[in-house]
Chains A and B, each alone.
Chain A
Amino acid sequence: MSDIAERVQKITVEHLDVDASKVEPKASFIDDLGADSLDIVELVMAFEEEFDIEIPDDAAETIQTVGDAIKFIEERKK
């Protein structure tokens, strides 16, 4: 697992209080990990701080799965 993927997993586990094994790239934050819309807002805030990036609202809306988040952040950090 890449460094970014590991950090995304760690933050997701902390914020959503879920088992790390469930936090796989294809897992949907809402459908599989039990997040609500406010949880997503908080996760995005946490990703922004962890990776020192800005995730605009329209981009945040496209982040549905753990993989989406990893992909978005990897592209920003290139």
Chain B
Amino acid sequence: MFDLSGRKALVTGATGGIGGAVARALHAQGATVALSGTRAEKLEGLASELGERVFVVPANLSDMDAAEGLPGQAAEAMGGLDVLVANAGVTRDNLMMRMKPEDFDAVIDVNLRATWRMSKACLRGMMKARHGRIIAVSSVVGTTGNPGQTNYAASKAGLTGMIKSLAAEVASRGITANLIAPGFIATPMTDVLTDDQKAKIDDTIPAGRMGTPGEIAAAAVFLASDEAAYVTGSTIHVNGGMAMV
């Protein structure tokens, strides 16, 4: 099950903890992967670790033209594109009273607008192929909200509406569109927290611990697989029971 041999996947934000794990997992199931992110050197590092069936396509997704062009670049490199994992995201946290409009816009640009651009750019090829998987990495805060993250939570909730609508539009063509909503995941981003802060977070999670990037990647493997053909417009929440929605 979940064999991805011959499938070609673009993973954005592959320099990050979750994106890297997703790329590794898809690759381990046999997929050819195109790694995208802003730091080319780090992508090259992951690419050499994976060895074969891997391409590097750096992009800055705050640039909408770059976002729109990325799937085409990846398809050219891999000889097709079956799976988009739109994982790249940024945060610029602050209380709304202190947040600058630019902080709102910058987060919406990368997390929501760029994902829309990339998804649109994938559709022509996927429609012709009568097959495609669009997977957006959302967040639990897109559902629950979170103080300090009016911009980030809005972008993630926006993804949900977008992906559900897209799922309805293209379901008849063998294309699925789904979301993965991680809760707290242990990544370099959470490494900076103190032990005390981490313990407080763990207390809010029924599972009693943060998730691992691999646990997000497992959901991505499932959604990318042929076995998930009938799953569309869904959100897989991977959060240790932190929010049961």
In the assembled complex, the CB of A44 is this many whole angstroms from the nearest CB of chain B, namely: 11
Chain B, 152-187, contact with A by CB distance < 8 Å: what is the 0/1 string?
000000000000000001101100000000000000
Number of interface residues of A (CB under 8 A): 4
Cβ-defined contact, B124 with A38, below 8 A: no
User: DSSP majority for the B interface?
Assistant: helix
Q: Could you say which residues of chain A place their CB within 8 Å of the CB of B173?
A: 38
Cα distance A42–B173 in the bound complex, in angstroms: 11
Which residue of chain A has the shortest Cβ distance to B128 in the bound complex? Answer: A45
Cα distance A45–B128 in the bound complex, in angstroms: 9
Cα distance A18–B58 in the bound complex, in angstroms: 45
Chosen A-B contacts, 9 in total, with CB atoms closer than 8 Å, are A38-B169, A38-B170, A38-B172, A38-B173, A41-B127, A42-B127, A45-B124, A45-B127, A45-B128
Top-9 shortest CB links A-B? A42-B127, A45-B124, A38-B169, A38-B172, A38-B173, A38-B170, A45-B127, A45-B128, A41-B127
- Further 7 A-B residue pairs, CB within 8 A, beyond A38-B127, A38-B173, A45-B127: A38-B169, A38-B170, A38-B172, A41-B127, A42-B127, A45-B124, A45-B128
